[in-house]
Structure 1
């Protein structure tokens, strides 16, 4: 983790993860199955027009759809954003709740999204695990898990407290920059010597993935 901090820093790259809790919530809902640049484009558009839950809840669905159109599944996400904003107004006085249970009860908010709100919106220790984090944690050899939920539990046990807020940010950056799903740039990797896939170990990882595909009909990573 210290080596990754030295390379990538600790400041979030995405616009929506550098914002207040409501903005983080909106941006993270929009980010599902959407590239970062499209996410930030859609989040900026809707939040510049409707910067708080009350204004977003009162907006017409057609207007919200037009603003978030850069995001994939924009119609579904527009509906969920308005519904979530209405619940925030009705139940929480226009504030974003600070517990995992309350956040995951909102429309369009799963465990990863809720954990992102806790980390980026409130600075609370949580471990958002997306496909990048799940894949990189397994490739590095930090865990041997089959699902993001298992990865979250395992990482919580082994990551020091001082690094928990940074796990998502650093592993996502690493996965997007050097450690891609295919053809990772191991020679340039700052943690190559610590990685189970480094120094030729990637071939072993590839064989293991092929074996898993043979058993399950899909690649679990």
Structure 2
């Protein structure tokens, strides 16, 4: 996930990115995965369910889901109608039920019911892409990874770290800017900041602590008082 020496990012950009990351660590010391989970399997399932819905909705159904299906074998043998009814509040519940059953079957058949610890193995599972795999690696196994969701992509483009749109290219570009040990924490910080300050429609530029290092500073509300009113203390999640 690194480029050749000839294509390394400018030193000024690298320093700016790392300075921004350090400031975000101060601003969002509680940045973390906002999905509730108690095991790698629970995180994997919750992340799959989080597609096109909020963490709040996923967290509302997972206590019932995890109690009813405690392991991969339980998902593999789940009654489809019962599973769909539990997942209904998350939206696209039929497709998600199909993915979760397929996920359980693949884990049982290939990995004795255990969640694998490698990116290559994870992305071969049904319904699992690089974003989901990096969430699981970073938060369940402590393996650094960059979670390029919509917030992450929006912020790194606004900050001027990359102009790439493709998530894999975004991941590669940011990987060259920030120390590998920081990748998971940086992901959480950017996602927190995107949900609370750097909103998609009206970013709170006048209340943004990293505006001085942002190429897009001023595209949103610049008045400090009006910008402060836009800042959320949580979510939307």
Partner Cα separation in structure 2 for residue 44 and residue 132 of structure 1? 26
Aligned partner of 1:51 in structure 2 is 70
Contact 2:35/2:55 (<8 A) preserved? no
1:6 aligns with 2:26: yes
CA offset digits 1:77-134 (Å, max 9, x no partner): 0111011111111211110011111111111111111111111111101111011100
Contact 1:143/1:151 (<8 A) preserved? yes
1:193 aligns with 2:206: no
Aligned partner of 1:27 in structure 2 is 46
- Specify whether residues 154 and 6 from structure 1 end up closer, same or farther in structure 2 by C-alpha distance, changes over 3 A only: same
Within 5 A, what are the aligned runs for 1:153-192?
153-192=172-211
Q: Which moved more, 1:126-135 or 1:36-45?
A: 36-45
Contact 1:10/1:169 (<8 A) preserved? no
Contact 2:87/2:97 (<8 A) preserved? yes
Match of 2:152 among 114, 125, 133: 133
Contact 1:141/1:196 (<8 A) preserved? yes
How far off its partner does 1:11 sit?
Answer: 4.7
Contact 1:29/1:108 (<8 A) preserved? yes
Aligned-partner SS, 2:90: coil
Contact 2:32/2:185 (<8 A) preserved? no
Q: Which moved more, 1:158-167 or 1:64-73?
A: 158-167
How far off its partner does 1:179 sit?
Answer: 0.3
Match of 1:86 among 80, 87, 105: 105
Task: Identify, as 1 or 2, the structure richer in helix.
Answer: 1
**Normalising to structure 1: TM-score of the pair?**
0.85
Partner Cα separation in structure 1 for residue 41 and residue 33 of structure 2? 18
Superposed CA RMSD: 1.5
1:123 aligns with 2:142: yes
Partner Cα separation in structure 2 for residue 67 and residue 146 of structure 1? 35
Provide runs of 4+ in structure 1 moved above 4 Å: none
CA offset digits 1:168-187 (Å, max 9, x no partner): 21111111100001111111
For structure 1, the 5+ residue unaligned runs are 204-221
Match of 1:107 among 126, 131, 139: 126
Contact 1:4/1:170 (<8 A) preserved? yes
Aligned-partner SS, 1:69: helix
Aligned-partner SS, 1:47: helix
Contact 2:73/2:104 (<8 A) preserved? yes
Q: Report 1 or 2 for greater relative contact order, CA contacts < 8 Å, sequence distance ≥ 6.
A: 2
Contact 2:32/2:188 (<8 A) preserved? yes
